[in-house]
């Protein structure tokens, strides 16, 4: 099982390295279907996987000057309280069968949303510029905070959303922002959010620590290899395969 976990971490890491997305959206379904974890433990374990793997990426983007910290702070002002409130509600009500159903449904919806964001990546730029007629410097900070709140709830419930969905929301609100700054800002926001949500799930006993360690061992060389392969594999092919995987996993989880 440890070897399978290492290989799984390697595979997901390679996809993340090639596309920049797909960590949580592929890891959580993998934990459910292959390792047979219950939804809560799968989500908690994946949150820690995301927090650890994205920390190095966040540091690299910061050193390169790719992080818009003003936007990151606004997102965190919405996402961290939302995450804490969601975890507190789970503590207060207990992990009943109702919560298990809610977690599973949230996971399926998040997978499908991620597939849409990845599939129509080029269209979101045009949508963002079209929205500029209503979004201005006066209401953009409040809308950024609101998007952070939505991401905080979604990530805490499903472990998914801090990657592709987060980047898309930033793009819609800040369409003039260069793509490397959108990615850097998104990753910088994802690290503290997934860490807070991960700690919350850990207090609920929703983390498989030994499995997490094996996954991380495999993910490090996987991410490196994926980054090398991204120059050789057609992006459209990789994203098409990723979208098909996300849609299949999302529909399977919901049903």
Question: What is the average per-residue pLDDT within 18-36?
Answer: 77
Residues 153/110, Cβ–Cβ less than 8 Å: no
Question: Domain-by-domain residue ranges, the chain?
Answer: 2-254
- Is the predicted pLDDT of residue 120 greater than 80, yes or no? no
pLDDT score recorded for residue 95: 61
Q: Average pLDDT, stretch 240-248?
A: 69
Tell me the pLDDT band of 20, cut-offs 50, 70 and 90.
low
What is the average pLDDT across 93-105? 69
Per-residue pLDDT of 145-178, as tens digits, reads: 999 999 999 899 888 877 778 888 888 899 888 8
What pTM was estimated for this model as a whole? 0.83
CA 100 to CA 252: how far, in whole Å?
16
The neighbour count for residue 234, using CB atoms within 10 Å, is 8
Structure tokens at 29: 């379904």
CA gap 171, 229 in Å, rounded:
26
Q: Which ranges of 121-208 does DSSP label H, i.e. alpha helix? A: 121-131, 140-158, 164-173, 179-203
**pLDDT-based confidence at residue 111 (cuts at 50, 70, 90):** confident
Average pLDDT over residues 45-56: 88
> What is residue 162's DSSP assignment?
T
Give the pLDDT score at 210.
Answer: 94
Q: Where does the pLDDT of residue 55 fall: very low under 50, low under 70, confident under 90, or very high at 90 and above?
A: confident
pLDDT at 96 over 60: no
Q: Which residue has the higher pLDDT, 193 or 100?
A: 193
More confident residue, 19 or 12: 12
Q: List all residues 6 or more positions away from 87 whose beta carbon is below 8 Å from its beta carbon.
A: 156, 197, 200, 201, 203, 204
For the chain, what is the radius of gyration of the CA atoms? 17
Contacts of 26 (CB under 8 A, 6+ apart): 12, 15, 242, 245, 246, 249
Nearest alpha carbon to residue 201 among 4, 50, 19: 50
DSSP string of 189-244, one letter each residue: HHHHHHHHHHHHHHHTT---HHHHHHHHHHHHHHHHHHHHHTTTS-HHHHHHHHHH
Q: So what's the pLDDT on residue 196?
A: 96
What is the phi-psi region of residue 233: left when phi exceeds 0, alpha when psi lies from -120 to 50, beta otherwise? beta
């Amino acid at each position: 099982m440890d070897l399978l976990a290492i290989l799984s971490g390697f595979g997901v890491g390679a996809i993340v390295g090639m596309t920049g997305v797909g960590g949580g959206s592929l890891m959580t379904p993998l934990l459910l279907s292959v390792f047979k974890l219950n939804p809560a433990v799968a989500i908690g374990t994946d949150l820690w996987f995301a927090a650890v793997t994205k920390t190095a990426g966040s540091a690299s983007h910061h050193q390169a000057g790719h992080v818009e910290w003003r936007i990151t702070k606004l997102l965190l002002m919405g996402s961290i309280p939302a995450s804490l409130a969601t975890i507190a509600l789970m503590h207060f009500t207990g992990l009943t069968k109702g919560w298990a159903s809610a977690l599973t449904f949230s996971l399926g919806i998040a997978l499908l949303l991620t597939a849409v964001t990845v599939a129509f990546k080029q269209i979101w730029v045009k949508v963002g510029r079209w929205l500029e007629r209503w979004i201005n410097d006066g209401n953009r900070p409040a809308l950024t905070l609101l998007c952070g709140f939505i991401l905080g709830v979604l990530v805490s419930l499903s472990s998914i959303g801090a990657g592709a969905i987060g980047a898309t929301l930033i793009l819609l609100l800040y369409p003039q922002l260069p793509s490397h700054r959108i990615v850097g800002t998104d990753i910088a926001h994802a690290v503290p959010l997934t860490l807070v949500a991960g700690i919350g799930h850990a207090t609920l006993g929703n983390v498989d620590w030994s499995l997490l360690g094996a996954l991380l061992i495999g993910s490090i060389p996987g991410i490196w290899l994926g980054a090398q392969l991204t120059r050789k594999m057609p992006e459209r092919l990789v994203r098409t395969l990723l979208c098909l995987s996300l849609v299949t996993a999302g529909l399977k989880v919901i049903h």
